[in-house]
Amino acid sequence: MKKDMTSGPEWAVILSFSLPIMGANLLQVLYNFADSVIVGNFIGSTALGAVGLTNSMTWLLVAFCSALGSGANIAASQFFGAGKDTEIKETIAASYLMAAALSAVLTLLCILAARPVIDGFLKAPPEMSADSRAYFLIYSCGIVFQLLYNVTYGILRAHGDSRGALYFLLISAFVNIALDCLFILVFRMGVPGAAFATVIAQAGSAIASMLYLRKQFPDLLPEPRYLRAWKKQTWLLTRLSVPIILQSTVTSFGFIILQRLINSFGAPSIEGYSAMMRIEQLAHIPSQSFNVALSSFTGQNIGAGQTERARKGWRSAITMGVLISAAISALVLLFDDPLLGLFHITGESLRRGREHLDILMLFIWTNTIMNITCGFLQGAGDVKIPAVSGFVNLGIRLSLSYLLAATSVGFRCYYVSMPPAWCISCLLVVWHYRSGKWKESCIVKEK
């Protein structure tokens, strides 16, 4: 059922929309978490490091897919708020067309780039190299499923439906964990088994999302006649998606460079960082969920001309997000060693992972405010400043990390650089929000 978010208490509308997204994100993180626990405990910490070494590369692929989904969501939510049904259907048709074209290009690039990036640029340790390449090549075969899922999810969110993702990710999570156990514990397929399990789970999620769209919103299924406006809508989606893609691409390449720096400090840093990232993903769920929810909420209300209601929604989301993130950070600080120990890391690997995790938890509130504000700006159609903030964040982290690497800070350089990067990026997006310049980006006004 379509949900109009232009009426009702702002905090209640946003929270009710966010909760299923949090559940869906939790499922997604948990089955990645389960991947790492199974790989770390039943294949070994070296295998965990091999999979973790590709994190920055897989993140780049996820970023491309989610950016197209975000573009579809921003356009469709503003058109929904303005009651423009034809434009919504044209946007949907163009989104799926772009997903098909982009999947072919990205898959080919991944096949060509795997060896030179992993062995050449990242300088993967010899004991991790083969597993890292195998994992990434298999993972890249699922790009088409990720794109289809993200576009469908963006369309559903634009119409106020956040529960769908919870249903089909529940299916995906169970499939992934079951196949992990089958491929790794029974068939002894090692790291490639974990990759195959992930791709099959992604396919299940994409199929489930499209079946859900067909059942709940049959009028939204793409039709050939709406492709007549593909040039106009493709340009709109490109204008909305490209800044997000550029931000994600530059950020991902930056983290590939950062991963290279981490690799230079040896296996303890690689293993500790890989385990820490799984806990970090859990901690970021509230801010990411409010980011997504506020983007749809803002889009609908901006499209309906209710700017002040959109502002009230931002204040409500910030309050809820910071409180929830603070509670999570307190729990993680109390139980950091047991949580990291789930990944079967010990000694120096555990110490480095714990230090990184503890610093992250102390400053996570700044990242929460930044994420939520970026969601508001993107929902309003202002996609450039969130991209700029990402560039600033990355620039500070990389420059500080490399400057400090040669000092007594040593291996700590890559997480000591994080607090100033988050704080400055947060100040930038909040300043832009308070300036009100985002009002000039409304899509519906341009029509």
Average of per-residue pLDDT values in the chain? 88
pLDDT > 90? residue 37: no
Give the model's confidence band at 438: pLDDT under 50 very low, under 70 low, under 90 confident, else very high: very high
Contact, 133 vs 114, CB < 8 A?
Answer: yes
Residue 310 CA to residue 380 CA, distance in Å, equals: 9
Residue of 2, 353, 370, 382 whose CA lies nearest to 162: 2
Contact, 145 vs 206, CB < 8 A?
Answer: yes
How much is the pLDDT for 289? 92
Once rounded to an integer, what is the mean pLDDT over residues 347-370?
94
Residue 170 CA to residue 190 CA, distance in Å, equals: 24
pLDDT > 90? residue 435: yes
Q: 425 or 3: whose pLDDT is higher?
A: 425
How much is the pLDDT for 446? 43
In 217-229, alpha helices (H): none
How much is the pLDDT for 445? 55
How much is the pLDDT for 342? 84
What dihedral do alpha carbons 420, 423, 425, 430 form, nearest 10°? -160
* Per-residue pLDDT tens digits for 304-317: 889 999 999 999 99
Residue 429 CA to residue 110 CA, distance in Å, equals: 33
**String of DSSP letters for 394-427:** HHHHHHHHHHHHTSTTGGGHHHHTHHHHHHHHHH
Residue of 168, 174, 199, 196 whose CA lies nearest to 34: 174
Residue 213 CA to residue 164 CA, distance in Å, equals: 8
How many angstroms separate the Cα of 52 from the Cα of each of 136, 139, 193, 284, 397? 11, 13, 15, 18, 19
Once rounded to an integer, what is the mean pLDDT over residues 250-269?
83
Three-state SS at 174: helix
* Per-residue pLDDT tens digits for 175-204: 888 999 999 999 999 999 999 999 999 999
How much is the pLDDT for 206? 92
* Per-residue pLDDT tens digits for 226-253: 777 777 888 888 888 888 878 777 777 7
How many angstroms separate the Cα of 352 from the Cα of each of 275, 278, 371, 416? 10, 14, 26, 12
How much is the pLDDT for 1? 58
Report how far Cα 19 is from the mean position of its chain's Cα atoms.
17
Structure tokens at 125: 């340790």
pLDDT > 60? residue 447: no
Residue of 289, 245, 243 whose CA lies nearest to 381: 243
Contact, 393 vs 254, CB < 8 A?
Answer: no
∠ CA(207), CA(54), CA(37), 5° rounding?
75
Per-residue burial over 320-331, b = 16 or more CB atoms within 10 Å of its CB, e = otherwise:
bbbebbeebbee
Q: Calculate what percentage of the chain has a pLDDT beyond 70.
A: 98
Give the model's confidence band at 121: pLDDT under 50 very low, under 70 low, under 90 confident, else very high: confident
